[in-house]
Amino acid sequence: MSMKQHISQLLEQVGQMQAQNMEDLEALRIKYLSKKGEIANLFSEFRNVAAEEKKEYGIQLNELKNLAQQRFDALKAELDLKREQAEKQDLTRTPDPLPLGTRHPLSLVKEEIIDIFSRMGFTVAEGPEVEDDKHVFGLLNFAPEHPARDMQDTFFIDKQPGVQRPEDVLLRTHTSSVQTRVMTTQKPPIRVLCPGRVYRNEAISARAHCFFHQIEGLYVDKNVSYADLRQAMLYFAQEMFGPDTKIRLRPSYFPFTEPSAEMDISCNICGGTGCSFCKGTGWVEILGCGMVDPNVLEACGIDSKQYSGYAFGLGVERITNLKYRVKDLRLFSENDVRFLSQFTAC
């Protein structure tokens, strides 16, 4: 290889020099820049170059030497910087905590309610959201022409207009349907809580939604009385809203309970003195309840002469609003993390 070729080959190699670590760099230095390296060898050959070519080769050789030195210095600076940065990192430092998610407020309140009733011996029962007329209405003593069976109130999936059939398919409007499933398949004593999503054909607004969450309860046994119902409701209200909470039961009507009542608690915002939340009355309504109508027990195959029972149903959104003062129902289903991430307490 002529000297010219050798120089241009080395120029190319030197231009592409790479080093992953100090060992690589040292190897490059020995190969090109040391006293016995390639460039030093060329300088010793330079002695033999003809006098008229000395100028040209001299320039090229110096260029090569400078380039190799520059490249070496740049690689060294890069490696030094890397080492410095690595030394600065504190490898014993504990890592940044992972951002944890939060539980949905409706789940928190649902769990709390289940927890309170489980202390009274209730267990959870679940059932389908897509139901038939029989379990949502028929077995629960709803008259054939009851307005809940109207398409304006209930989302029907399969229904012939004008006629009402036990097999009509619909989205359940309450979780009482789970109670009828339990009563038709289990023998008393029965003590179940039925949490779940229910659907009603309502326009969506801050105060109403086409779906919401309920927890209904059912207790069927020998000698279950209205006093048992009242005591269970009082225990629940005081566990949920504090020991000073009072309750009152107002007469009401449901097809499946007799007598029926609506339960109010003393307003937990003003303590019962009257405020805008309770519209000055000192009371807020929280649930419906009553003694299971004997017709319902019989329809489900339970002897109403031997057994009696109480039932109740509440809206989880309503209890959550009371607890956390959420003013707009839509927030519960919009999945806005700015809202959801506030529920970190439990």
The binding site for ligand PHE (CB under 6 A) comprises 174, 176, 216, 254, 257, 288-290, 311-313
We find the least distance from the C-beta atom of residue 319 to ligand PHE, in angstroms, to be: 14
H/E segment holding residue 114: helix 105-118
- Report yes or no: 287 and 217 within 8 Å, Cβ to Cβ: no
* Three-state DSSP state, 184: helix
- Report yes or no: 290 and 311 within 8 Å, Cβ to Cβ: yes
Amino acid at 264: D
Which residue in the shown chain puts its C-beta closest to ligand PHE? Answer: 313
If the CB atoms of residues 10 and 265 are measured against ligand PHE, the closer one turns out to be 265
Q: What's the CA angle centered on 233, arms 232 and 237, to 5 degrees?
A: 120
Residue 279 Ramachandran class (φ > 0 left, ψ -120 to 50 alpha, else beta): left
We find the least distance from the C-beta atom of residue 213 to ligand PHE, in angstroms, to be: 11
We find the least distance from the C-beta atom of residue 100 to ligand PHE, in angstroms, to be: 35
We find the least distance from the C-beta atom of residue 219 to ligand PHE, in angstroms, to be: 11
If the CB atoms of residues 247 and 311 are measured against ligand PHE, the closer one turns out to be 311
Burial 313-334 (b: 16+ CB within 10 A, else e): bbbbbbbbbbeeebeebebbee
* Long-range own/partner contacts, residues 9-15 (CB < 8 A, 24 or more apart): 10/38, 10/39, 10/42, 10/64, 10/68, 11/63, 11/64, 11/67, 14/64, 14/67, 14/68, 14/71, 15/67, 15/71
If the CB atoms of residues 105 and 313 are measured against ligand PHE, the closer one turns out to be 313
We find the least distance from the C-beta atom of residue 290 to ligand PHE, in angstroms, to be: 5
We find the least distance from the C-beta atom of residue 257 to ligand PHE, in angstroms, to be: 5
We find the least distance from the C-beta atom of residue 344 to ligand PHE, in angstroms, to be: 31
Q: Phi and psi of 194, rounded to 5°? A: -120, 90
Length of the chain counted residue by residue: 346
If the CB atoms of residues 112 and 285 are measured against ligand PHE, the closer one turns out to be 285
If the CB atoms of residues 65 and 213 are measured against ligand PHE, the closer one turns out to be 213
Return d(Cα 122, Cα 305) in angstroms, integer: 23
Residue 110 Ramachandran class (φ > 0 left, ψ -120 to 50 alpha, else beta): alpha
If the CB atoms of residues 114 and 269 are measured against ligand PHE, the closer one turns out to be 114
We find the least distance from the C-beta atom of residue 199 to ligand PHE, in angstroms, to be: 11
We find the least distance from the C-beta atom of residue 254 to ligand PHE, in angstroms, to be: 5
If the CB atoms of residues 196 and 290 are measured against ligand PHE, the closer one turns out to be 290
- Give me 140's structure tokens: 């629960």
If the CB atoms of residues 37 and 259 are measured against ligand PHE, the closer one turns out to be 259
- Give me 290's structure tokens: 């009553």
If the CB atoms of residues 255 and 282 are measured against ligand PHE, the closer one turns out to be 255
